[in-house]
Amino acid sequence: MAGPARESHRWKWLLVSPALFVLLLAASGPLVIVLIYSFLSPGNMGGVSWDPSTEAWFRVFWSRDIFEPELVTLNDSHLAIFWRTIWLSFQTTVICAVLGFPTAWFIATRSARTRMVWLFLITIPFWTNLLIRTFAIQEMIRSNGTINTALLWLGVIDEPLEMMFTEFAVLLGMAYVFLPLMVLPLYAAMEKLDFRLVEAGYDLYASRRQVLWHVILPLVKPGFIAGSILVFIPSIGAYVTPRVLGGGKTMMLGNLIALQFGQGRNWPLGAALAMVLLVIVVVALIFYLRVTGSEERARNGRA
Amino acid sequence: MVGRDFDVRRLPGFGLIAVLTVIMLYLPIVILVVFSFNAEQSQTQWGGFSLRWYEAALNNRQVVDVSLRSLWLALAAAAIATVLATMAALATTRVSRFPGQTMIYALINQPLMVPEIVTGIALLIFVAFLKVQTGYSGMGYLVVAHAAFCIPFAYLPIRARLETMDLTLERAAADLYATPLQTFRYVTLPLLVPGILAGFMLGFVVSLDTVVITEFVKSAGQDTLPTYMLGQLRRVVTPEMNAIATLFLALSLVIVTLFFMISRKRG
């Protein structure tokens, strides 16, 4: 009986194998090479020399004195970039949640026809080029950009605000480009919301705030978690937005990695840093799966 | 005290925030588009309507080159990704679970989860090695890299279409002595077309949008429109850039609208 069963699996493997081949070649396979490179020594002109070494991993967190290699200190510039990356990503997620929740709620409570229009309006920026949207933000906040021109004209300020190349610029840009990723899963959760539960809350003399906190928020929590992950993960790995809006002074982890393959000429360090980024993303994903998994179990248990 | 006209769906202030959010989403893009038609070089002073920046962009040899390269790269990558994703979807949807399926899902979805910068430098290392070994430094690397990146985006709508498809028609074909291949050719495939089209369009848009992977994989002279723009943003930006961006936006808008229309017909 095992024969035909195995036979029937074979065609499936035949059909998926071209896709798997391309993915292994251009997505998964190269990641293994990155891991290997992180344990090698840097070559003279970029690249690597094949001497096994843990120096790259050491330098992710610590640095050595140039004259006395025994003198080891924490690598402050790296730690500052790690911290900035996590902190900015967290703030981006919070801003997207604060703006995204009312927006998704508003859309979900429209009639079916208008709902489609609003949803379309949210989705379009999501499918338009990230670089163009970042460019659009740059035009807004440049020293002679739209915002400064408007504020000067209104007489609110006397000289242009310097917003470019600051953490504020990066934060604004990331919140702007990733906002749809928060609205869409929140909307999906609200669309399934049983409004009789909301009504029951009001019938039991709950105030609007109490209904919001004790009925609506717990019910749309899965959407919040999904949206937060969808915003947090691309923020952590952001490269284009901090490069264009942040410049060299407000680098994020993605830019630090890229630097090692450019001017830095330290491929093993870049590879180790890329692995650190990957670990952060995987931890966030596992956290997400565990939270949604336990939610699911709780719901099934109740049913 | 709940009155008759009390709306349980209403939360005060939410409508205002929603409207402001959508305005904020569109304002920068609208300004960018408006000033692409400016007669003057300024991005803030309106000097009358003009198409001079479009003319400048279309007469800029480099802009035309990188745009055409972006387009054919996206076409090639989306086409490859769609064919591979269709095959993969047929093998993994509507079938009994088989060993290795979880691994297949993980591999297909990997480009969605791994940050682009990590994939980018991984490919940089790999391609640098291959270039030395093979001596080949053509566009093939970019095509394969983009195709791999587009596979999950093409896979999702095709799989969704397969899942909602009516099985009875295929069963009827089999009852009428159609061979599996005939059933596929004359029943399954025509039914699957909306999903395949949607998958192709998503793949196309995603490839057009991809900047980080291209930036790290490309050799000299292989700039695409996004990497060209990324390089230009460091310099003084003229409204020519607005014009290029506007044309690009228009293209994305057309594709996304088509995608929406196809997916709505499905539902």
In the predicted structure, residue A303 carries a pLDDT above the cut 50: no
A-contacting residues in B 44-103 (Cβ below 8 Å)? 44, 80, 83-85, 87-88, 90-92, 95, 98-100
Greater confidence (A11 vs B69) lies with: B69
Local confidence band at A69 (pLDDT 50, 70, 90 cut-offs)? confident
Residue B146 corresponds to which tokens in the numbers above? Answer: 């983009």
- Kindly state the greatest CA–CA separation across chain A: 84
Give the C-alpha separation, B224 to B236, whole Å: 20
CB contact under 8 A, B117 and A239: yes
Residue A33 corresponds to which tokens in the numbers above? Answer: 């090479």
Among B9, B119, B155, beta carbon nearest to A109: B9
CB contact under 8 A, B31 and A11: no
Q: How many other C-beta atoms lie within 10 A of the C-beta of residue B104?
A: 20
Q: What is the domain partition of chain A in residue ranges?
A: 86-302
Which of A233-247, B39-53, B229-243 holds the top average pLDDT?
Answer: A233-247
Contacts of B98 in chain A (CB under 8 A): 9, 12
Please say whether the beta carbons of A254 and A239 come within 8 A. yes
* Radius of gyration of chain B from its Cα atoms, rounded to whole angstroms: 23
A-chain residue closest to B206, CA distance = A127
Greater confidence (A212 vs B213) lies with: B213
Please say whether the beta carbons of A202 and A246 come within 8 A. no
In the predicted structure, residue A3 carries a pLDDT above the cut 60: no
Which is it for strands A72-74 and A62-64: parallel, antiparallel or unpaired? Answer: antiparallel
Greater confidence (A292 vs A49) lies with: A49
Give the C-alpha separation, B187 to B167, whole Å: 10
Local confidence band at A30 (pLDDT 50, 70, 90 cut-offs)? very high
Local confidence band at A299 (pLDDT 50, 70, 90 cut-offs)? low
CB contact under 8 A, A135 and B245: yes
Chain A contact for B145 (CB, 8 A cutoff):
yes
CB contact under 8 A, B126 and A16: no
CB contact under 8 A, B126 and A234: no
Burial (CB < 10 A; 0-12, 13-18, 19+), residue B60, is middle
Q: How many CA atoms lie within 13 A of B18 on its CB side?
A: 23
Give the mean model confidence (pLDDT) for residues B7-33: 90
Give the C-alpha separation, B262 to B198, whole Å: 7
Burial (CB < 10 A; 0-12, 13-18, 19+), residue A117, is exposed
Query: Tens digits of per-residue pLDDT, B185-224?
Result: 898 899 899 999 999 999 999 999 999 999 999 998 999 9
Among B17, B125, B208, beta carbon nearest to A34: B125
Q: Enumerate residues 6+ apart whose C-beta is below 8 A from B5.
A: none
Nearest Cα of chain B lies from the Cα of A73 at a distance, in angstroms, of: 27
- Torsion (CA) A217, A222, A225, A230 in degrees, nearest 10: -130
Return the number of CB contacts < 8 Å for A and B.
Answer: 257
Domain A86-302 -> CATH class: mainly alpha
For chain B, list the domains and their CATH numbers: 11-50 (no CATH), 61-266 (1.10.3720.10)
Above pLDDT 70, what percent of chain B? 97
Among A26, A131, A202, beta carbon nearest to B145: A26
B-contacting residues in A 34-63 (Cβ below 8 Å)? 34, 37, 47
Cα angle vertex B197, ends B191, B201, to 5°? 160
Query: Tens digits of per-residue pLDDT, B158-185?
Result: 999 998 887 788 888 888 988 888 888 8
Contacts of B114 in chain A (CB under 8 A): 27, 31, 278, 281
Query: Tens digits of per-residue pLDDT, A174-194?
Result: 999 999 999 999 999 998 888
Contacts of A142 in chain B (CB under 8 A): 43
Local confidence band at B265 (pLDDT 50, 70, 90 cut-offs)? low
Distances (CA, A) of A143 to A1, A136, B235: 74, 14, 15
CB contact under 8 A, A19 and B43: no
Amino acid at B53: W
Give the mean model confidence (pLDDT) for residues A273-297: 88
pTM tops 0.80, yes or no: yes
pLDDT at residue A301, as a whole number: 57
B-contacting residues in A 194-253 (Cβ below 8 Å)? 195, 198-199, 202-203, 208, 212, 233-234, 236-237, 239-240, 243-244
Distances (CA, A) of A201 to A209, A210, A223, B14: 11, 8, 21, 19
Chain B contact for A87 (CB, 8 A cutoff):
no
Contacts of B264 in chain A (CB under 8 A): 116
CB contact under 8 A, A149 and B209: no
CB contact under 8 A, B18 and A103: yes
Distances (CA, A) of B172 to B4, B167, B210, B255: 54, 9, 43, 35
Instruction: Determine phi and psi for A155, rounding to 5 degrees.
Output: 80, 15
CB contact under 8 A, B14 and A33: no
Kind and range of the H or E element at B17? Answer: helix B14-35
Chain A contact for B132 (CB, 8 A cutoff):
no
Greater confidence (A220 vs A126) lies with: A220
- Cα A255 to the center of its chain, rounded Å: 14
Amino acid at A133: R
Chain B contact for A151 (CB, 8 A cutoff):
no
Nearest Cα of chain B lies from the Cα of A209 at a distance, in angstroms, of: 9
Kind and range of the H or E element at B245? Answer: helix B239-266
DSSP character for A73?
A: E
In the predicted structure, residue B25 carries a pLDDT above the cut 70: yes
> What's the mean per-residue pLDDT of chain B?
90
Could you tell me the sign of the dihedral formed by the alpha carbons of A200, A205, A206, A211, in that order? Answer: positive
Instruction: Determine phi and psi for A41, rounding to 5 degrees.
Output: -100, 150
ipTM: 0.90
